[in-house]
Amino acid sequence: MACRISELVLGCRDAEVLARFWCEVLDFVVLDREHDGSIEIGPREGFGGAQPTLILSVRDEPEPGKSRLHIDVNATDRDQDAELERLLKLGARPADIGQTGEEPWHVLVDPEGNEFCLLKARIPEL
């Protein structure tokens, strides 16, 4: 028997802003809201499906140091350039972490500065 990743938790200051952003990026919906302002988003079928949910956990201050976990995304219905344009319109910003410009991915940050990468390969929708 093995484990599966069921949830990813991202600490944030404004869960509403990040919920809107990541719901648009991933075509997710809000699944739950907690009394502390934290929000769980995920696929329409909810928790326990093929994709993990994302919990936006409200924190007063960002945790010290650089996060050791980041999200990689792949376009499902368009090429990488078109998806990059869409993500930038949603509020993502390019991030420079020392890339050479030859990488087949783009490093971006979400509205709160959390790094994520847009990979080149297009993958099928679930």
CATH of the domain at 83: 3.10.180.10
Predicted pLDDT at 113: 92
Predicted pLDDT at 1: 58
Predicted pLDDT at 37: 95
Predicted pLDDT at 48: 87
Same-domain status, 48 and 96? no
- Looking at the structure of the chain, the number of domains it has is 2
**How far is the C-alpha of 29 from the C-alpha of 109, rounded, in Å?**
21
Same-domain status, 113 and 92? yes
Predicted pLDDT at 43: 96
Same-domain status, 91 and 45? no
Range(s) of the domain holding residue 16: 1-60
Predicted pLDDT at 8: 94
Task: State which of 60, 77, 94 marks the end of a domain.
Answer: 60
Regions of the chain where pLDDT drops below 70:
1, 62
The closest alpha carbon to 105, from 77, 68, 69, 71, belongs to 71
Same-domain status, 49 and 73? no
Predicted pLDDT at 60: 83
Give the containing element (helix H, strand E) for 89.
helix 80-90
